[in-house]
Amino acid sequence: MRLGLHLLLDVAGAPFATLDDPVLVETLLVDAVRAMGAKVLGIHIHRLSPQGVSGVVVISESHLTIHTWPERGEAAVDLFTCGDASRARTAVRALAKALGAERTRFEERVRGAEPLA
Amino acid sequence: MRLGLHLLLDVAGAPFATLDDPVLVETLLVDAVRAMGAKVLGIHIHRLSPQGVSGVVVISESHLTIHTWPERGEAAVDLFTCGDASRARTAVRALAKALGAERTRFEERVRGAEPLA
């Protein structure tokens, strides 16, 4: 069965200050969830040492995560959604823009598709 | 730059009771993180209505998530790791076995690889 859609976004060329700001990153994640019309069930944001942010938002049957490497200008985002695919794609692309990405790589994986080996 | 390795595991044919037990699922996620030699920074487990569990574990620069559909015997797991790839693979396969999976689908994505479009 198709369980959900997994969107994988890699970001490069983003500003150090943006990627190293846990408050801003949290705001952007929550904005993305709201843009999907979804509800935040839980959120964890961690600032890493000496820099970087790891953030996870739990959504019903879904999640949104980010890991940032400010010193490289890079971040990895993943969004698992059982909701509307179009809104999810729009939310992820808006997140890339809000992070100040100069370059992005975007992949989609259908999860849970039969047949399983 | 290579930022991390993303392991995507789809599980099918697992027992309803296992996939619908939030305490057991949490234990299995924590066991997987420990098997990787990693440290749990935060954990969120939600039991969904009428059934199912969504769980997220935040690890330093990494995460482990699961969403279960007990009525289908299915679950979707993702593990993002910056640590040892071999230990991560072993931990994910052990998790699939502990969930009682009859069938699995396993994919790996290198995240953050340049060049980005």
pLDDT in tens, B95-114: 999 999 999 999 999 998 66
B47 touches chain A (CB under 8 A): no
Tokens of B99: 């969930």
Q: Is residue A43 part of a domain?
A: yes
Q: Which of the 8 DSSP states describes residue B88?
A: H
- Residue B63 annotated to the active site: no
- Amino acid A113: pLDDT: 61
Neighbours of B57 (CB within 10 A): 24
What ranges make up the beta strands (E) of A13-98?
Answer: 40-47, 53-59, 62-69, 74-81
- In this prediction, residue A2 carries a pLDDT of 78
Please tell me the least confidently modeled range out of B47-51, B59-63, B79-83.
B59-63
- Residue A40 forms contact with B (CB below 8 Å): no
Would strands B103-111 and B4-12 be described as parallel, antiparallel, or unpaired?
A: antiparallel
Which residues lie across from B7 on neighbouring strands? B79, B108
Question: Is A36 part of a structural domain of the chain?
Answer: yes
Give yes or no for residue B116 having a pLDDT over 60.
Answer: no
Parent domain of A42: 4-100
H or E segment and range at residue A104:
strand A103-111
Handedness of CA B33, B47, A63, A114 (dihedral sign): positive
State percent of chain B over pLDDT 90: 82
Q: What is residue A3's predicted lDDT score, i.e. its pLDDT?
A: 84
Q: Average pLDDT in the B66-80 region? A: 96
pLDDT for res A1? 60
User: Which pLDDT score is estimated for B113?
Assistant: 61
Which residues in chain A land under pLDDT 50? 117
Mutate to test the interface with A, among B19, B40, B44, B106 (most CBs of A within 10 A): B44
Question: Cβ–Cβ contacts within 10 Å for residue B59, how many?
Answer: 25
**Residue A50 counted as domain residue:** yes
Does residue A103 belong to the interface with chain B, where contact is any CB pair within 8 Å? yes
Reply yes or no on whether the pLDDT at B115 is more than 60. no
What confidence tier does B53 reach under pLDDT thresholds 50, 70, 90? very high
CB-based contact B67 A103, cutoff 8 Å: no
**Residue B114 belongs to some domain of the structure:** no
Mean pLDDT for all residues in chain B = 92
Higher pLDDT, B1 or A8: A8
> Looking at the domain assignment, is residue B110 inside a domain?
no
- The answer to whether residue B117 is domain-embedded is no
Average pLDDT, chain A: 92
Instruction: Show the 3-state SS of B63-111.
Output: EEEEEEECCCCEEEEEEEECCCHHHHHHHHHHHHHHCCCCEEEEEEEEE
- Per-residue CA distances from B6 to A110, A111, B72, B107 (Å): 15, 14, 25, 8
The pLDDT assigned to A105 comes to 93
Distance CA B74, CA B67 (A): 9
CB contact under 8 A, B41 and A48: no
Give the one of B3, B54, B111 whose C-beta lies nearest to A61's C-beta.
B54
Q: Of B79, B91, B83, B89, which Cα lies nearest the Cα of B35?
A: B91
The enclosing domain of B23 has a CATH number of 3.60.90.10
Q: How far apart are CA A91 and CA A113, in angstroms?
A: 24
**Would you call A58 an interface residue with chain B, using a CB distance cutoff of 8 Å?**
yes
List A110's β-bridge partners, or say none: A5
**pLDDT tens across A89-104, in order?**
999 999 999 999 999 9
- Report CB contact under 8 Å: B103, A112: no
Which residues from B are below 8 Å from A52, CB to CB?
A: 61
Please confirm, yes or no, whether B60 is among the known catalytic residues.
no
Does residue B45 lie within any of the structural domains? yes
Q: Is residue A85 part of a domain?
A: yes
Could you count the other beta carbons within 10 Å of the beta carbon of residue B26? 17
Q: How many domains does chain B have?
A: 1
Answer whether A3 touches B (CB < 8 Å).
Answer: yes
Give the pLDDT confidence of B27-38 residue by residue, as tens digits: 999 999 999 999
- The model's pTM is 0.92
- So what's the pLDDT on residue B1? 60
Q: Quick check: is B86 catalytic?
A: no
